[in-house]
């Protein structure tokens, strides 16, 4: 556009009334205006979601359970109701039973990838699973040593109560050194676990067909809640 054309456009714009000016601006700049509006709305939405997002203060993974994708459970509801200091407006606790590491083929591979990724990203704070699943991921140091993670008095209560523990032997691939640690404790007799869950058809089901065990991830930032949940499960 030449300088003369610019001056003529400016003069025409100057002579327009308010309604004509708005129409002129819309005709020439509607695409940039729409883009800006969309960006503003998107930014506002992101900020609002972040402000309203609840902090996850406990994430429990339930591996290879009967509750995958069909669970309606009050397992954590009862726990949070009994937990002092829990702010339901700002915090949340999650139990995710959608970890099926027993599936075969590509489906099973996808589930295993997800499980490994969630452990690696320190998303999972604690795990409830059958012995086979616990030992599978214990080989990858997914769980900490309960004898060191738990407060001394809590671990002594487990010992005194005769609770079965999974003692896993880990071999350091770099040094070949082997050491044994307490990877998980049996929580099958927990009243909360025995209460089971309600499936999509309204039927009561057991979480697991056999025994299940509780393990804690070594890098969890929610250790206090992991311990409190174990105490709640076993009523110790």
pLDDT per residue as tens digits for the range 84-133: 888 888 888 888 888 877 655 445 456 667 788 888 888 999 999 999 99
Rounded to whole angstroms, the Cα distance separating 230 from 222 reads 13
Report the chain's mean pLDDT, rounded to a whole number.
Answer: 81
Q: Are residues 18 and 73 in the same domain?
A: no
The reported pLDDT for the residue numbered 3 is: 63
Q: Are residues 78 and 89 in the same domain?
A: yes
Q: Are residues 202 and 125 in the same domain?
A: yes
Rounded to whole angstroms, the Cα distance separating 197 from 35 reads 48
Q: Are residues 131 and 95 in the same domain?
A: yes
The tokens of 88 are what?
């339901």
Confirm whether 167 is domain-assigned. Answer: no
Q: Is 64 left (phi over 0), alpha (psi -120 to 50) or beta?
A: left
Query: How many domains is the chain built from?
Result: 2
- Tens digits of per-residue pLDDT, 218-232? 999 999 999 999 999
Confirm whether 170 is domain-assigned. Answer: no
Q: Are residues 198 and 119 in the same domain?
A: yes
How much is the average pLDDT of 173-185?
87
Q: Are residues 67 and 105 in the same domain?
A: yes
Confidence of residue 50 (pLDDT cuts 50, 70, 90): very low
Question: How many Cα atoms within 13 Å fall on the side-chain side of residue 137?
Answer: 36
Distances (CA, A) of 229 to 125, 131, 172, 199, 225: 11, 19, 30, 23, 6
Distances (CA, A) of 63 to 3, 112, 143, 202: 72, 10, 14, 22
Q: How many residues does the chain have?
A: 236
The reported pLDDT for the residue numbered 120 is: 87
What residue numbers bound the domain in which 92 lies? 54-142+187-234
- Tens digits of per-residue pLDDT, 143-153? 999 999 999 99
What percentage of residues in the chain have a pLDDT greater than 90?
39
Confirm whether 174 is domain-assigned. Answer: no
Residue 52 DSSP class: H
Q: Are residues 40 and 97 in the same domain?
A: no
Residue 187 DSSP class: -
Residues whose CB is less than 8 angstroms from the CB of residue 138 and which lie 6 or more positions away in sequence, other chains included: 166, 168, 170, 183, 184, 215
Confirm whether 182 is domain-assigned. Answer: no
State the burial class of residue 98 (Cβ atoms within 10 Å of its Cβ: 0-12, 13-18, 19+): middle
Q: Identify the CA nearest to 126 among candidates 194, 30, 210, 212.
A: 212
């Amino acid at each position: 556009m030449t300088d003369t054309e610019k001056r003529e456009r400016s003069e025409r714009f100057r002579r327009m009334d308010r309604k004509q000016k708005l129409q002129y601006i819309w005709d020439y700049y509607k695409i940039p205006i729409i883009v800006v509006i969309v960006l503003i709305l998107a930014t506002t939405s992101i900020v609002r979601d972040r402000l309203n997002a609840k902090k996850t203060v406990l994430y429990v993974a339930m591996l290879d359970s009967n509750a995958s994708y069909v669970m309606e459970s009050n397992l954590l509801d009862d726990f949070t109701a009994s937990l002092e200091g829990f702010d339901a407006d700002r915090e949340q606790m999650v139990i995710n039973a959608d970890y099926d590491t027993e599936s075969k083929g590509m489906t099973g591979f996808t589930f295993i990838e997800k499980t490994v990724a969630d452990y690696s990203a320190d998303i999972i704070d604690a795990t409830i699973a059958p012995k086979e699943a616990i030992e599978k991921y214990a080989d990858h140091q997914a769980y900490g040593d309960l004898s060191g993670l738990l407060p001394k008095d809590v671990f002594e209560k487990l010992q005194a109560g005769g609770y079965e523990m999974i003692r896993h032997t880990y071999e350091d691939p770099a040094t070949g050194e082997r050491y044994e640690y307490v990877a998980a404790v049996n929580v099958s007799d927990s009243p909360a676990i025995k209460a089971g869950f309600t499936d999509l058809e309204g039927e009561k089901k057991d979480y697991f067909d056999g025994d299940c065990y509780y393990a804690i991830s070594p890098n969890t930032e929610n250790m206090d809640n992991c311990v409190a949940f174990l105490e709640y499960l076993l009523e110790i």
